[in-house]
Amino acid sequence: MTHDTIVLGAGMVGVSCALHLQARDQAVALVDRRATGLETSYGNAGIIQREAIEPYALPRNLGFLLSGATNRRVDVRYQPADAARMLGPLWSYYRNSAPGPLQKISREYETLIALSLETHQQLMNDAGANDLIGGSGYVMLFRTERELHAFHQVADARAQHGVQHIKLSSADVAREEPSLIGSFAGAVRWTDPVAIRSPGELVQRYAQLFEERGGAVHLGDAMTLRRTDAGGWQVDTASGETLTARQIVIALGPWTTQLTSRFGYTAPVIPKRGYHMHYAPVPGKALNSTVIDAEYGYVIAPMQKGLRLTTGAELANVDAPRNPAQIEAAEQIARQSFPLGERVDAEPWMGTRPCMPDMKPVFGAVPGVAGMWCAFGHGHQGFTLGPVTGELLAAMMTGVVPRVDVRPFSPARFA
């Protein structure tokens, strides 16, 4: 069972890395403790966010900070003991969210986002997955004129970078989404993003494409990773096989540094957990587009399983006990505006976004560890940025010059 590369982690990022390495004539094995696409890649809002040319910065206004401290906001919550352990990275996050640093970070971040639709579309075509597309664009919904007009400035600024949008009045919103309850100041419809009706299934289609092209997918424990006497890598599968490869890619999302730290590399990951729940549609009350409630930070997305409500961020360790308070608060507010039927899921799904203090993903060679590469830290955009990350990492690993400057995303920046 000898390969050129073993990829640990079968979410959107890991599967994309495996596919692009395979396209460069590498013999690749893909390993995960679960079936493909069942961790963080499964539970998101299903949007390929071409408009997201700026990462999610930490709001620096006093009102947000004071209200956040109460731990009652719908968009951001925290588990106190876990948040206390994150104070160092959170302080760096706060500093990087200042206008000056954020402008530089956004310029670098945009080089990846600009390729997100192109790289996804190629894989969707190859995987025969275009049937999962639920439409183009999504709606940012506003309740107040003040917030709406402030966001118009954001939309106009992004238009200078080629990101398209349509400004919707209150009447436009009522016409486009007649099933919404109540009236709203207006909305901004981003027209470039693509909505996917089952994000977990899209990852699975990509994994099936990898297998059809001769790739091997295994269940196994990444923590069995070890060096060989010859300087390569080995990992055990659940079926008792031992896989061996010259190189290893660690794409385990929020668990990545748990493994890399055993080999001397760590980085300050800020785990942002999120929850979702599906609801049966109300007969005759369809939602035509994915909608983000800008005031409260939750998303309502039409999915194959029903309407999916996804929450904002909960600052908590990946192994911390679940806390349903955030999704219950979001549901209570969402039911006042959206046609949500009965709950479909037995309990809320939960996943963890691996976020970095500088808001940029981490991919490239792990410093000081020969033959080890990593791809993690995509924050809220792992689903969007998986394919472009896979392309750029595969180029680096095979000695090809990537088509964008990858230095801003190097793991060495945290060494």
User: Per-residue pLDDT tens for 239-258?
Assistant: 999 999 999 999 999 999 99
- Extents of the domains making up the chain: 2-41+201-266+358-414, 54-98+130-197+269-355
Question: ∠ CA 255-35-48 to the nearest 5 degrees?
Answer: 75
SS3 397: helix
pLDDT category at 62 given cuts 50, 70, 90 is confident
Alpha carbons within 13 A on the beta-carbon side of 346: 0
Does the pTM of the predicted model rise above 0.85? yes
* CATH fold match for the domains 2-41+201-266+358-414 and 54-98+130-197+269-355: no
- CATH code of domain 54-98+130-197+269-355: 3.30.9.10
The rounded distance, in Å, linking the Cα atoms of 194 and 125 is: 14
Task: State the pLDDT at residue 137.
Answer: 93
**Is residue 370 very low, low, confident or very high in pLDDT (cuts 50, 70, 90)?**
very high
State how far the Cα of 47 lies from the Cα of 193, in Å rounded to an integer.
Answer: 7
CATH number for the segment(s) 2-41+201-266+358-414: 3.50.50.60
What is the rounded average pLDDT of the residues 372-382? 97
The pLDDT value given to residue 132: 97
Q: Which residue has the higher pLDDT, 66 or 11?
A: 11
pLDDT-derived band at 1 (thresholds 50, 70, 90) equals: low
DSSP for 193-208, please give it.
Answer: EEEES-HHHHHHHHHH
| Per-residue pLDDT reduced to its tens digit, 76-132 | 999 999 999 999 999 999 999 999 999 999 999 999 999 999 999 999 999 999 999
State the average pLDDT over residues 182-207: 97
Provide the strand spans (E) within 98-227: 133-142, 165-169, 186-196, 216-219, 226-227
pLDDT over 80 at 14, yes or no: yes
Kindly report, residue by residue over 290-326, the tens digit of the pLDDT.
Answer: 999 999 999 999 999 999 999 999 999 999 999 999 9
Number of CB atoms found within 10 A of residue 108's CB: 18
Other CB atoms closer than 10 Å to residue 387's CB: what's the count? 28
pLDDT in the model for residue 135: 87
pLDDT grade, residue 415 (50/70/90)?
confident
Runs of H (alpha helix) within 198-253: 199-212
Percent of the chain with pLDDT over 70: 100
